Amino acid sequence: MRRSERVTTIVEPRQEEFERKRGVTGIAVEEGLIHVEVQVPPDLRERLKIFKALAEAGISLFLIKFHPDSIHFLIRREVLNKAQKVLQGLNRPTKVTRDCVLISVLSSAMRDLPGVMARIAEALYEQGVELLETGDSHDSVMILVKRSDAEKVVNSLRQKFGL
Amino acid sequence: MRIIVQKFGGTSVATKEKLFIAAQKVVRAKREGYAPVVVVSAPGRKGDPYATDTLISLAKDIDPQVPVEPRELDLLMTCGEIISIVLMAQAIKALSGYKTIALTGGQAGIYTDGNFGNARIVRIDPTPILEALQKDYIPVVAGFQGVTEHFKLGGHGQITTLGRGGSDTTAGAVAAALKAEACEIYTDVEGVMTADPRIVGNKARVLPSVTYEEVSEMAHLGAKVVHPRCVEIAMDHRIPVWVKKPDSENPGTVIKERASDLPEKMFRFTGVTNLPYVAHLKVHVAHQDDLPEIETEIYRLLGEAGVVTYFVGKSKNLFEFAIVRDNLEKVRSLLDGLTIPVSVNRHSRLYLLTMAPNSVAHRERKRMLSQIQPRLEIVDAPVEVTTNCAIVSIVVLNTREVPGIMARILEALIDANISVLQVADAQHSVSCLVLEEDMVRAVHALHDKFELHLGVGEKLQTL
C-alpha cells in the first residue's frame, strides 16, 4: 500500500486472505515535518486570515487542529522559509517545532475498532513521550512526535499491536 | 466467459414491479453476451416485513429479557436474503425463460470466520457458481451471508452474516473470486453523487468516474452509496465497480482507478458528505502534567466499553474527542463521577470527572471524597459535552497536495454564519465538526463554494 511517496511504511499491511484482516495492520512514518502553532483567538474570521495568507503563498497544510487560543498545523520542511515569511507578516505569536515525525497506525476500518487510541496513549505514556498532536481518519490514527522520540514510539506501538 | 456480478439492494426487490425492473437488467446483460451472477439483499427497507431489523425483532419480542444467541440471530437474519433469491430467480425465469438457480451464501461457496453478526470472508470457492454458469444457469446469490468451514453440528458449517454493508461485500467478493469483468451495484441513486440529493436537490451531480479511495472516503464519511468493504475488496482484486440505478438508462459511476496509481500532483474536489448524530466531548484538566495519565485512563475505559472516538485532539489543559451520539449515555455513565488518582512529580491528586459541575450530586460526591481522603487534593475535571453535532466533509483526492482548502472551507462557513467546533484532515478529505442544526446549510455552503454543482468534481486537475 503506497500512501505517499514521502511516507515510509514500517509495517506493511499484509493481505493473506480474501478480505483484509481486521484490527491494526500496519504502521507508517513520515519525516521532515514542521509543526506550527499560531496564537489566534477562536474567531473564525481571524483564523481565516492565516489560512488565506498561507494558501496565497501556495503552502499546503495538514493535520490542522483548532485549539482554544491557537491553530496548529503541519508543513513540509521545504516550505518552512516561505511559511515563516508569511506568518511574520501576520504579526501573530508563532511557535515552530522542527524535525517532527508523523506516525500513523493503520487499519482498514478504524471506526469499527474501539481501543486503538487507548493503546496508543498507553504506549506514549509508558515511554514518557510528549505528544505534539493527534489526528484520526477512517483508516489511521496519527500521532506527531519529535524525531528523537520516533523510534521508541514505533517500537512500543509494534509491541502494543503485535506487529 | 465474460462474467458480470449485478447486485440489487432491498428496494429493488421490495415489490413485484421493482423485481421485474431489476430482472430486466440481468436479462439484458445475458443477451449482450455476459454471464451474469446476481446478488440480492433482503426485500424492503427498515420496518418492512422481511427486512433484517423486522426479523431480529421477531426473536427479541419473544422475551426482551432473554438475549438471542448470536448464532440463532444469524440464522434468522439470513432469511430475508433467501426470500429475495427465490423471488429474483423466479422473476428472471418468468421474464426470459433463462435457467436460474438460487444459492445461499454457503451454497455459493462463501466461507467466513465464525464471528456471528460480523463475519469476515476468508475464502470463496468459485466452483459452485462456475459450474452453474457453465451449465448456462444464472446464479442468484444471497447477499450478507456465508458459512463457516469448521464442521461442528450436523456436519454443516455454521451460517453467518457479514455485518454492515453485507450484500455489497458479497457482490465485491464474488466478483473478485470469479475474476469478473465488473461488479454492478444497483442502488436508489444514479451513481456516486457530489452530495446527498435529498439535501442539495438537483445541484447534486453524478460523478462519471472516481477512484476506489475517493468513494471509500465518501462512504466512511456518510455517503450511502456503496459500502467501503466492497470497495476495499474490489480495489485489492482490481475489479471495476459500477454504481447505477435500476430504472435508469444513465451509465452511472465507474470506480476502477486507484488514487495511489495516479501522480500526487493530480487532485479533484470530489464531493461533500455529512454524518449527523455525533456528540463532542472536552475533558478539562487543571494541571497540564496530569493530562497524559487521565487521557490514557479515559481512552482505556472507552476502548473497553467498545466506544470508538473521532476527532481526537489535545491542547495544554484539555483533550477532546467526538463519539457517535448513540454512545453518549454509555460514556456519560462511565465518565460522570469517575475518579482518577494521578501521581506526577511527587504530587498526588484525585481528579473527579463531572458532566454537571454545578449539580448537587457533584458537590455531594466531592464532599464525601474529601471526608474519605482528607489528605488528597481533589480536583474537578469538567467534561464539556456538545450533544448535537454533525460532521461535514469535503472529499478531495490528494488533499495534502492542495493549498488553500481550509481557507475556502472557512470562507464558505463564515459566509453561511456557521461555527466550526473542530477540524480534521485525512489523505483524501477535510472534515468539520459543526452543530447539527447547521449541517444542511454547511453542506450547501461547501457544495457551492467548491463549485461541485458546476461539474468541478467530474474532472481531475493538476497542480
Query: What is the distance in angstroms between the Cα of A48 and the nearest Cα belonging to chain B?
Result: 6
Of B124, B100, B107, nearest in space to B35 by CA? B100
Measured between beta carbons, which residues in chain B are less than 8 angstroms from residue A134? 312-314
Interface of B with A in 173-202 (CB under 8 A): 173, 176-177
Instruction: Indicate whether A113 and A151 sit together in one domain.
Output: yes
Concatenated DSSP letters for B310-339? EEEEE-SSEEEEEEEGGGHHHHHHHHTT-E
Instruction: Indicate whether A93 and A110 sit together in one domain.
Output: no
Q: Are B139 and B129 in contact (CB under 8 A)?
A: yes
Q: How large is the ipTM?
A: 0.90
Answer whether A59 touches B (CB < 8 Å).
yes
pLDDT value, residue A12 = 65
Instruction: Indicate whether A106 and A27 sit together in one domain.
Output: yes
Q: Is the pLDDT of residue B260 over 80?
A: yes
User: In a mutagenesis test of the B interface, which of A18, A106, A130 is the best target, namely the one with the most B β-carbons within 10 Å?
Assistant: A18
* Nine cell digits for residue A114: 474501539
How does DSSP classify residue B269?
Answer: E
Answer whether A159 touches B (CB < 8 Å).
no
Instruction: Indicate whether A13 and A58 sit together in one domain.
Output: no
Residues 6+ apart with CB under 8 A from B229: A19, A109, B162, B164, B165, B168, B169, B172
Which of the listed ranges A13-17, B96-100, B228-232 does the model predict with the highest average pLDDT? B96-100
Closest-CA residue of A relative to B421 is: A66
Question: Any bridge partners for residue B377, and if so which?
Answer: B349
At residue B153 the predicted structure's pLDDT band, cuts being 50, 70 and 90, is low
Q: Is the pLDDT of residue A5 over 60?
A: no
Q: Which domain holds residue A130?
A: 7-32+100-160
pLDDT single digits (tens) B413-454:
999 999 999 999 998 999 999 999 999 999 999 999 999 988
Instruction: Indicate whether A26 and A52 sit together in one domain.
Output: no
Alpha-carbon dihedral sign for residues B285, B290, B296, B300: negative
At residue B27 the predicted structure's pLDDT band, cuts being 50, 70 and 90, is very high
Answer whether A136 touches B (CB < 8 Å).
yes
Query: What is the distance in angstroms between the Cα of B236 and the nearest Cα belonging to chain A?
Result: 9
**The pTM is what?**
0.91
Query: Residue B159 is inside which H or E element, if any?
Result: strand B159-161
* Average pLDDT of the residues of chain B: 92
At residue A1 the predicted structure's pLDDT band, cuts being 50, 70 and 90, is very low
**Which of B121, B403, B423 is facing A58, going by the closest CB pair?**
B403
pLDDT value, residue B330 = 95
pLDDT value, residue A109 = 78
pLDDT value, residue A2 = 42
- Ranges of beta strands (E only) in A40-156 are 62-67, 70-76, 94-107, 133-137, 140-146
pLDDT value, residue A14 = 58
* Average pLDDT of the residues of chain A: 88
Instruction: Indicate whether A94 and A109 sit together in one domain.
Output: no
* C-alpha to C-alpha distance for B140 and B37, rounded to whole angstroms: 6
Q: Is the pLDDT of residue B344 over 90?
A: no
At residue B163 the predicted structure's pLDDT band, cuts being 50, 70 and 90, is confident
Residue A66 maps to a domain:
yes
Residue A24 maps to a domain:
yes
Q: Is the pLDDT of residue A148 over 70?
A: yes
Instruction: Indicate whether A156 and A106 sit together in one domain.
Output: yes
Alpha carbon of B350 to those of B292, B333, B347: distances in Å?
A: 14, 19, 10
Measured between beta carbons, which residues in chain A are less than 8 angstroms from residue B305? 114
- Ranges of beta strands (E only) in B245-303 are 253-257, 266-284
Closest-CA residue of B relative to A45 is: B414
Q: What is the CATH number of the domain that holds A24?
A: 3.30.70.260
Q: Are B429 and B393 in contact (CB under 8 A)?
A: yes
At residue A4 the predicted structure's pLDDT band, cuts being 50, 70 and 90, is low
Residues 6+ apart with CB under 8 A from B419: A44, B413, B434, B435, B438
Q: What is the arithmetic mean of pLDDT over B240-259?
A: 94
* C-alpha to C-alpha distance for B304 and B312, rounded to whole angstroms: 17
pLDDT single digits (tens) B171-194:
999 999 999 999 999 998 999 999
Query: What is the distance in angstroms between the Cα of B375 and the nearest Cα belonging to chain A?
Result: 26
Query: What is the distance in angstroms between the Cα of A41 and the nearest Cα belonging to chain B?
Result: 13
Of B112, B190, B445, B462, nearest in space to A17 by CA? B112
Crossing angle for the helix pair B405-415 and B439-449, nearest 10 degrees?
130
Residue A2 maps to a domain:
no
**Which of B173, B292, B414 is facing A19, going by the closest CB pair?**
B173
Instruction: Indicate whether A39 and A92 sit together in one domain.
Output: yes
pLDDT single digits (tens) A65-108:
999 899 999 999 999 999 999 999 999 999 999 999 999 999 87
Query: Residue B378 is inside which H or E element, if any?
Result: strand B377-397
Closest-CA residue of A relative to B403 is: A60
Which of A80, A98, A116 delimits the end of a domain? A98
